[in-house]
Amino acid sequence: MSKPEILAVAKLPPYLIEPLREIFVVHEQIHQTDPAAFAAAAGRIRAIVGSGESKVPRSLMAQLPALEMISIMGVGYDGVDVTAALERNIRVTHTPGVLNDDVADLAIGLMLSVARRIPQADQYVRSGRWPEGPMPLARKVSGERLGIVGLGRIGQAIATRAEAFGMSVAYTARSRKAELPYAYYPSAQALAAEVDFLVLITPGGAGTRKLINADVLKALGPQGYLINVARGSVVDEAALVEALQQGVIAGAALDVFENEPVVPSALWTLDNVVLAPHIGSATRQTRGAMADLAASNLRAHFAGEPLLTPVPECQ
């Protein structure tokens, strides 16, 4: 029997692609690089595999009449037009859970980095300035007030880590979690007004677009720090740049940006900012687990077995 054909819509790692090649014919990004090959194969492509940053718009699905499933190696699937997929009964899967630890670790690491100025401290030593005297004092994290925007799987992993730092934890989400011991605020703005560090860990997409605007940043205030490990779209980036330049907030640590991999040049030059290139889940262990889960979902679909981790809309 011939192997089913699938389209990789992103540059995916060999530890995902190689095992897939054993059971599928994998077309790598031919929709972008080779229109003739894509036109020839489009009618036979039965699945898409992509990363959390991949775009799978309605227009791409429309060119794939045999498409049955989309497997995303990532928990965020805001690049997939799920409405268009549901209309054609195309099933969508993602990789929740296996990356909670890494993303939570990074959120805490970024919070410490921006408050304790760890990147600047490294530069201080490397540039030979230590003999001239000590660095200016930084900001304490332990015991401070943490606000989490989005208290889902990863948000809760951040909360338990923050508890070990003696931080008080409060949150906002679409719904109150009565079973959890943290204070709930009905909006990001109300939460921001009550905390020292505001960590964002919601999904991207239309529901959270520019949730963090100039008013929220003003509420966070000149002693407050913003940490974004969610999606760049959750923040009004222009308002954030202005708030950082004007001292409306104390600083920001950002793993995600509105137009990745492009980072506004204004952010490069600011001293109260720590920048990372979307590395929340980027460890060998976790990326391996994500790849295994993305591949297992594909195998399950083609074996006629239940999907392991369909997105909520497909459950």
User: Which region, judged by CB under 6 A, interacts with ligand NAP, from 9-17, 129-137, 152-160, 299-307?
Assistant: 152-160
Q: Is 76 in the site for ligand NAP (CB under 6 A)?
A: yes
Which of 116, 153, 209, 299 contacts ligand NAP by CB under 6 A?
Answer: 153
- Reading the block at residue 127, the tokens are 């540039």
- Reading the block at residue 210, the tokens are 């520019």
Which of 278, 302, 308, 310 contacts ligand NAP by CB under 6 A?
Answer: 278
Q: Which is nearer to ligand NAP, 127 or 175 (CB)?
A: 175
Given the residues 44, 176, 278, 299, the one annotated as active site: 278
Which of 64, 70, 92, 151 contacts ligand NAP by CB under 6 A?
Answer: 151
CB of 150: closest distance to ligand NAP in angstroms? 3
Given the residues 27, 231, 287, 301, the one annotated as active site: 231
Q: Which is nearer to ligand NAP, 3 or 174 (CB)?
A: 174
State the binding string over 5-34 for ligand NAP (x if CB under 6 A, else -).
Answer: ------------------------------
**How far is residue 32's CA from residue 156's CA, in Å, rounded to a whole number?**
38
CB of 177: closest distance to ligand NAP in angstroms? 7
User: Which region, judged by CB under 6 A, interacts with ligand NAP, from 138-146, 148-156, 245-253, 288-296?
Assistant: 148-156
Give yes or no for a cis peptide into 264 (omega within 30° of 0). no
First-last CA distance in the chain: 30
Q: Is 293 in the site for ligand NAP (CB under 6 A)?
A: no
Number of residues that bind ligand NAP (CB under 6 A): 31
Q: Is 231 labeled as catalytic in the residue annotation? A: yes
User: Which region, judged by CB under 6 A, interacts with ligand NAP, from 30-38, 63-71, 117-125, 171-179?
Assistant: 171-179
- The one-letter amino acid code at 149 reads V
* Cβ-based neighbours of 238, under 8 Å, separated by 6 or more: none
CB of 201: closest distance to ligand NAP in angstroms? 5
b/e for 147-182, b at 16 or more Cβ within 10 A?
Answer: bbbbbbbbbbbbbebbeeeebbbbbbbeeeeeeeeb
- Site residues (CB under 6 A) for ligand NAP, limited to 204-263: 204, 207-208, 211, 229-231, 255-256
CA atoms within 13 A on the CB side of 7: 31
Q: Is 31 labeled as catalytic in the residue annotation? A: no
Q: Beta 225-228 vs 168-172: how paired, if at all?
A: unpaired
Taking CB atoms, the residue at the shortest distance from ligand NAP is 152
Q: Is 104 in the site for ligand NAP (CB under 6 A)?
A: no
In terms of Cβ atoms closer than 10 Å to its own Cβ (0-12, 13-18, 19+), residue 139 is middle
CB of 136: closest distance to ligand NAP in angstroms? 29
Q: Is 5 labeled as catalytic in the residue annotation? A: no
**How far is residue 81's CA from residue 60's CA, in Å, rounded to a whole number?**
10
In terms of Cβ atoms closer than 10 Å to its own Cβ (0-12, 13-18, 19+), residue 184 is middle
- Site residues (CB under 6 A) for ligand NAP, limited to 185-214: 201-204, 207-208, 211
Nearest by Cα to 220 from 195, 244, 245, 241? 195
**How far is residue 152's CA from residue 278's CA, in Å, rounded to a whole number?**
19
- Reading the block at residue 23, the tokens are 């059971």
Residue ranges that bind ligand NAP, judged by CB under 6 A: 75-76, 96, 99, 103, 149-155, 172-175, 201-204, 207-208, 211, 229-231, 255-256, 278, 280-281
Task: Please give the positions annotated as active site.
Answer: 231, 260, 278
